[in-house]
Structure 1
C-alpha cells in the first residue's frame, strides 16, 4: 500500500510540474494577469477602469505599441488575419451592439482572449463561448515579428 501511495504522489508531483511548465508566463500574459479584475468603465483608459478599446490601447502601450482609441478604428490597423490563423497578441473583434464592430480583445492562445467586459471588467473569455462565437467579426495582426517575439517569449 505504501508503494502505491508513494507512486501516486510522485505521479501527481510530476504531472503538476509538467502542467506548470506548459503555461509559462510571457511579458504579454504577465501584463494581462496584472489587469484581470480591473473594473469596466465606459471610455476608461486607466487602471481605475477600462472599456474594451481602452484596455487594448493601454495594454499595448506598455510595450510601446500605439493603437487607435476605438474598437472600430483598431479594426483598421495591422493586417487582417483568418480566425484559423490567430496568434497570441492578435486583436479580435466582435459585433455586440448589432451595428458593426463594437468590442475588441487580445487573443491569448488556446481559444482564449482577454478583454474588458461591461459586467466583469478585465477578464479572459473563450472564443467559442456561444455569445462571442456568434458575434465574432474579424481579427487583425498588429505585431511585427520582433514585437511578437518580445511579447510572447517565456520569462
Structure 2
C-alpha cells in the first residue's frame, strides 16, 4: 500500500512539472502564428502603399497635349488647328468688285467678303470687321496660318479692315486700294503699320461664338501698340537692305 502511494505521488509531481511546459509550448505556437499573420498583413499593406505611390507618380507624369495657352485673362489659339477650308471659298470670290458698304456680287467690301466666305463654309458671321474681331482666338503674328483672320486699323483706330491669311506672307481680301477682291502681300509697309492682330477660328468649331468683348479687344490693342512688333522690325530691316 505504501509503495502504491509512493508511485502515485511521483506521477502527480511529474504531471505538475509537465503541464506548464505544454501550456507554454502551445502559447509560443499561437504567438508565432499570430506574429506570422501580422507580418503577412504588413507586407500586404506595404504592397498596397507602394502601388498607391506608383499610381500617384503615374498621374503626375501623365502629359496632356496643349491645344491653346492663356496669358492673363486671354486664351491664345496658336496651337489650335485652323479652318483651312475658308481659303477655298475665299478664292471663289477673287476679282469681285470692291464697293464700300457693298454686300452683293456686284460690289463687296472687306467685312462683307469675310461674311460671305464664312456663310459658304456654313458659319454665321457678323457684318462688320469690328464685330468679326470678337470671334476666334488671338494668334501671335509669327504663328499665323492659312485660314486665320487678319485685322487692320485703316480709316479708324479700331479694326476697320479684315483679310484672310492664305500663307507665304499673303492674304486675300476685298481691297479699296485695289478696287476688288485680290491677293496682297501683308509685308507691305502700309499693312505692317496698320496691323492690329490675328484671330483663328478652329477647324472643329461647330458654331461661331464670340470669344471677346469690344472692351477686351480695345485693351489688347492698347497693350500691343506700346511695343513694336518684332516681326515687323525684322521685315523693315530686311527691306532696307534690299
TM-score by structure 1 length? Answer: 0.72
Partner of 2:92, secondary structure, is helix
What pairs up with 1:2-81 in 2 under 5 angstroms? 28-81=86-139
> What CA RMSD, in Å, does the superposition of the two structures yield over aligned residues?
1.8
SS at match of 1:56: helix
Matched, 1:92 2:136: no
Contact 1:90 1:143 (8 Å CA) reproduced: no
User: Given the alignment of the two structures, is residue 129 of structure 1 paired with residue 188 of structure 2, yes or no?
Assistant: yes
In terms of fraction of residues, the more helix-rich structure is 2
Aligned equivalents of 1:101, 1:132: Cα separation in 2: 13
CA shift in 2, pair 1:39/1:134, >3 Å = same
Deviation at 1:94, TM superposition (A): 0.3
Runs of 4+ with >6 A deviation = none
SS in 2 for 1:35: coil
Give the structure 2 partner of residue 101 of structure 1.
159
Q: How many residues matched?
A: 122
Displacement of 1:44: 1.5
Higher relative contact order (CA 8 A, sep 6+): 1
| TM-score normalised to structure 2 length | 0.47
Q: Which residue of 2 aligns with 1:12?
A: none
Does structure 1 conserve the Cα–Cα contact (< 8 Å) formed by 2:85 and 2:147?
no
Which of 1 and 2 has greater Rg?
2
Q: 2 CA distance for matches of 1:70 and 1:146?
A: 21
**Is it true that 1:116 corresponds to 2:174 in the alignment?**
yes
Task: Give yes or no for contact 1:106–1:114 (8 Å, CA) kept in 2.
Answer: yes
Gaps of 5+ in 1: 1-25, 148-155
Deviation at 1:102, TM superposition (A): 0.6
The aligned residue for residue 151 of structure 1 is none
1:89–1:29 Cα change, 3 Å: closer
| Inter-partner Cα distance in structure 2 for 1:60 and 1:115 | 13
- How far apart in 1 are the matches of 2:203 and 2:86? 14
2:228 equivalent to 1:138: no
